[in-house]
């Protein structure tokens, strides 16, 4: 029997269970139900929790152990990616078209293996963007959206949700620019949620849940950087990203 908290569909205020209550299998399942409202989602991220579910499931909330993190400035950049960054082939923006980015992420994943970025999730994260805590990075080639990523920012933590690429290295370029900008803004972590071999090649490493929560609590002491973001005019991506 699953021993997780069941939340009413209109409940914005009931606290989530402690992380220790998350299941070992499936790894990190903590609660079921509740709304995808701005208050509920913000409460979740501040607690190290994120939603992840399919169209035929109720809302599922997760707090896996270990946690996959990328620290700003520690992204691994291959020679080919570094060359691509130097070429300036792509134009990169922040918060220029959040809706297009999240819908592109959903489309790419639905075509490949199915997606958790359901219409309800698209609407919910669009509201986070309207409230100034949901953000996107867009990568453009010849005026067309070629890749990008989106996530949530609270304190000095950025919670990455998904990325997509329609051109070579476009999603990696998005991550490199984001990592460089977050380093300049003194962000402390980029939460990548769960490990994958692809993320590992980019410098993402796993930490125990207990350590993640220590890092998260410290990062949330910083003020939120709300509102639309823009890259600093003097941002030198090559100089600040890791090797």
User: pLDDT tens, 92-110?
Assistant: 999 999 999 999 999 875 5
Instruction: For residues 105 and 219, state if they share a domain.
Output: yes
Instruction: For residues 228 and 114, state if they share a domain.
Output: yes
Work out whether the CA dihedral 82, 83, 86, 88 comes out positive or negative. Answer: negative
Q: How many domains does the chain have?
A: 2
Beta carbons of 242 and 73 less than 8 angstroms apart: yes
Instruction: For residues 28 and 97, state if they share a domain.
Output: no
pLDDT at 115 over 90: no
Mean pLDDT of 128-137: 98
Residue 203 lies in domain: 68-240
Residues in contact with 171: Cβ distance below 8 Å, sequence separation at least 6, in sequence order: 139, 147, 148, 149, 163, 164, 165
Domain boundary among the residues 20, 49, 65 is at 65
Instruction: For residues 82 and 188, state if they share a domain.
Output: yes
Instruction: For residues 167 and 57, state if they share a domain.
Output: no
pLDDT at 181 over 60: yes
Mean pLDDT of 220-228: 98
Q: 74: exposed, middle or buried (C-beta count within 10 Å: 0-12, 13-18, 19+)?
A: middle
Instruction: For residues 127 and 216, state if they share a domain.
Output: yes
Counting every residue, how long is the chain? 243
Q: 103: exposed, middle or buried (C-beta count within 10 Å: 0-12, 13-18, 19+)?
A: middle
State pLDDT tens for residues 31-70: 999 999 999 999 999 999 999 998 889 999 999 999 999 9
């Amino acid at each position: 029997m699953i021993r997780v908290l069941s939340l009413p569909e209109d409940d914005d205020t009931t606290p989530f269970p402690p992380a220790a209550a998350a299941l070992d299998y499936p790894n990190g399942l903590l609660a079921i139900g509740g709304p995808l409202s701005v208050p509920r989602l913000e409460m979740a991220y501040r607690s190290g929790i994120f939603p992840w579910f399919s169209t035929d499931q109720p809302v599922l909330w997760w707090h896996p152990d270990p946690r996959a993190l990328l620290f700003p400035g520690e992204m691994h950049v291959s020679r080919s990616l570094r060359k691509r960054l130097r070429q300036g082939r792509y134009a990169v923006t922040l918060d220029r078209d959040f809706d297009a980015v999240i819908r592109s992420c959903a489309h790419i994943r639905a075509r490949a293996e199915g997606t958790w970025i359901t219409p309800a999730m698209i609407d919910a994260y669009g509201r986070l963007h309207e409230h100034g805590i949901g953000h996107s990075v867009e990568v453009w080639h010849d005026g067309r959206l070629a890749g990008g990523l989106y996530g949530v920012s609270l304190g000095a933590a950025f919670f990455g949700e998904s990325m997509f690429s329609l051109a070579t290295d476009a999603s990696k370029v998005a991550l490199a620019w984001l990592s460089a900008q977050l380093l300049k803004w003194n962000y402390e972590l980029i939460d990548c949620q769960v490990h994958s071999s692809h993320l590992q090649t980019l410098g993402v490493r796993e930490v125990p849940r207990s350590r993640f929560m220590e890092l998260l609590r410290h990062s949330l002491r910083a003020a939120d950087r709300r509102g639309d973001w823009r890259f600093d005019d003097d941002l030198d991506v090559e100089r600040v990203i890791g090797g």
